[in-house]
Amino acid sequence: MFAWLGGGVIVLCLAAGGFWYWINIPPQIKIPTPVMPHPNGFDYFRRAGTAFVKDTQGVDVSTDSSISNQPKQYPLAPKEAWLKKNAKAFQLLREGLKYPALHVAMRFNFGDFFPEYAQYRHLAYALVVESHARGERGDWNDALQSALDDYHFGNQIARGGTMIFGMTGSAVRVISLNQLGVLMAHSNATSAKSAAASLESFYDERYPYSETLQEEKWFEQSAYLETFSDPSWRIDAAHNPLFQTKGYSHTLWRSNAQIFFISKRKLMSDLTNLMDVLIENAHRPYVKQEPVPGSGIPSMDEMLPTYKFLHFMWVRENTFAVEVMTMYALRAYKMDNGHYPKNLKVLLPTYLHKIPIDPFDGIAPLHYQLQGNKYLLWSIGPDGVDNHGTPIINTDTNGSSQPMTNRQRYLFMSPDCKGDVVAGVNMP
């Protein structure tokens, strides 16, 4: 009896030991290391961020953290004094724009890069301040160049980075596009044509969302490998480095015991398959997205709505870019010819090299309609329906009883919005 019992215990122990060994076999994953350009524009951007002197006085509406609903005056003198303090930062940033840029491959231990996100936003707003100052002096061509440099900067800082760097770059581009929209009225035929050409070139060189997702996949894989290297990672899933970084807690697991029955290879396989589906989806037109099935692992599935929203924000920014680009080309055409073209094909090849594709559609071009001395230019928007230029209207008052400004009324921040993204109306 005891012999049978003892034998059973031994068998159970061997089975448990074998199972434990099996679920801890490390996954075989090869994560590539990119070949960095030399010189690398990114090195200059990091130095520019380090050299940056933050605005502590509130010299401009773009950098004044204390701004309220009351209009304020921002004299030119303190604005230019602050810009002078940042001459070195501007010099380094523009030097970096001369070279190819590629972010250092992010492989889990990315703590050193976090400060850059804020620094690059500060630099983006500083270029807007420079544009404001140049405009106040009447140097409209230089003001336009500041905004174009800002857009170029936003393009470059996204290259080779994970999702957080991609969205930082997208945010910088939106900042610059807002200023480019304001400056359009001050451009002449030559500067408008040049701006359209620059924006078209920068847009063609943009870093695709799919490539950013690929970098995110490699980063996540490296995070899992680092987590798996800690022998105690299963003991407290809520406090291991991977889940701390993501902000997850043990409540995202079906039960605390679940972590002790999932193999490392299964976790890595589920992650890889999920990211591959997201990457494949990113190659499709936005309105042709396929539903992404959950992996069954809460720590992964929790991120699916985030990835979907970030994709929407990415396409939203691309839509702003092609509309602003086309508006500059249309302005140059009208100033040269005295009227707007009957269709966008007339802009080729003098003002644009090709008709911009609607980023939300992914296949068809932007819609254009000549209306006497004006025009209507629009994208079909996130709902995928051509509403013939009826703009998206924001109905979210955010609990405020104050009437919306025009910008607030037409600002759209949700992939569930209905209507078209109309140029000059639904702008950043």
Residue 260 belongs to domain spanning: 9-64+75-339
Domain membership of residue 299 (yes or no) is: yes
Domain membership of residue 395 (yes or no) is: no
pLDDT band, residue 240 (cuts 50/70/90): low
Q: With 60 as the cut, is the pLDDT of residue 251 above it?
A: no
Domain membership of residue 360 (yes or no) is: no
Q: With 50 as the cut, is the pLDDT of residue 303 above it?
A: yes
Tokens at 351, concatenated: 């003002």
Overall domain count for the chain: 1
Domain membership of residue 381 (yes or no) is: no
Nearest in space to 216 (alpha carbons), one of 103, 72, 70: 103
Position 51 scores a pLDDT of 96
**122-161: pLDDT as tens digits:** 999 999 999 999 999 999 999 999 999 999 999 999 999 8
Domain membership of residue 113 (yes or no) is: yes
Which three-class secondary structure state does DSSP give residue 428? Answer: coil
Task: Provide φ and ψ at 371, rounded to 5°.
Answer: -130, 80
Identify the top-confidence range among 19-33, 63-77, 208-222. 208-222
Position 400 scores a pLDDT of 60
Q: Which H helix or E strand runs over 344? A: none
DSSP codes joined into one string, 237-306: TTSSHHHHHHT--GGGSS-TTGGGSS-HHHHHHHHHHHHHHHHHHHTS-GGGPPP----S-HHHHTTHHH
pTM exceeds 0.75 for this model: yes
Domain membership of residue 363 (yes or no) is: no
pLDDT band, residue 116 (cuts 50/70/90): confident
* Distance from the first to the final alpha carbon of the chain: 79
**70-108: pLDDT as tens digits:** 678 899 999 999 999 999 999 999 999 999 999 888 776
Q: How far is CA 23 from CA 226, 228, 252, 269, in A?
A: 16, 11, 20, 13
pLDDT band, residue 333 (cuts 50/70/90): very high
Domain membership of residue 398 (yes or no) is: no
Number of other residues whose CB lies within 10 A of the CB of residue 44: 21
Position 331 scores a pLDDT of 98
Domain membership of residue 401 (yes or no) is: no
pLDDT band, residue 401 (cuts 50/70/90): low
